[in-house]
Amino acid sequence: MKTLLTVGLTGGIASGKSSVSRIFRERGIPVICADELAREVVKPGSRGIREIVSVFGDSVLDDDGALNRPELAKRVFSDPSKRKILESIIHPKVAEERDRLVEIYRAAGHHIVIVDVPLLFEAGWEGSFDLVILVYAPRKVQKKRLMSRDKMSSEEASSRLNAQMDIESKKSMANILIDNSGSLVETEKQIAMIIERLESSLQSD
């Protein structure tokens, strides 16, 4: 019998992944947030921030010694080679911290751990988990939510969506789909069924 199931959770912009993460937490399943880990591994004084400064220089720090994210973003997003260097610094440290937390949850007796990774497929992390759940909403729903939530124009919303991997492409790469285009109640029902399915798979292994 498998003692712990590691589940990657991903989605697209405005797909409602944060709400899904919250529901899993409310049902007693630990959720590790990769974005939070990415901030943690480059906090002032960390090994990560020292490596970033050694590559990009002191100008990527603010007056308090913290990472100046807008300045760093200007450097890397216009130069794919620099973005790959930055990812090669951050991603292994996030993975290391993720694995450390997974082991803590395993030792505490948890049987399922969710790892919330917004750019899971883009980072090539799908092989790091026992299975991957995609929080899905059709592009038209994503666009409507973006325009409403972030007060974007139709053109701005389309531009943001075009900058990401298409949600339809991600569907074929995921093991389980949560259709989050309807009501919260419908989403909660799907999550309850998924948890039951995951727990049953653990017992049968």
pLDDT bucket at 2, cuts 50 / 70 / 90: low
pLDDT bucket at 50, cuts 50 / 70 / 90: very high
**What is the DSSP secondary structure assignment for residue 45, as one 8-state letter?**
T
pTM recorded for the entire structure: 0.89
Higher pLDDT, 52 or 160: 52
pLDDT in tens, 60-78: 999 889 999 989 988 887 7
pLDDT bucket at 203, cuts 50 / 70 / 90: confident
pLDDT in tens, 6-26: 999 999 999 999 999 999 999
pLDDT bucket at 131, cuts 50 / 70 / 90: very high
The contacts found for 196-205 with CB under 8 angstroms, 24 or more apart, are 198/5, 198/7, 198/112, 199/111, 199/112, 201/5, 202/1, 202/2, 202/5, 202/111, 202/112, 203/1, 205/1, 205/2
Q: Which three-class secondary structure state does DSSP give residue 178?
A: strand
The residue type found at 149 is R
- Is residue 146 within 8 A of residue 161, CB to CB? The reply is yes
Top-level class of domain 1-30+111-205: alpha beta
pLDDT in tens, 94-110: 999 999 999 999 999 99
According to DSSP H, which parts of the chain are helical? 17-26, 34-40, 47-56, 69-76, 80-107, 139-149, 154-162, 167-171, 184-204
pLDDT bucket at 205, cuts 50 / 70 / 90: low
Length of the chain: 205
Structure tokens at 205: 């292994």
With a CB cutoff of 8 Å and minimum separation 6, the contacts of 174 are: 10, 132, 133, 134
Please state the domain extents for the chain.
1-30+111-205, 38-109
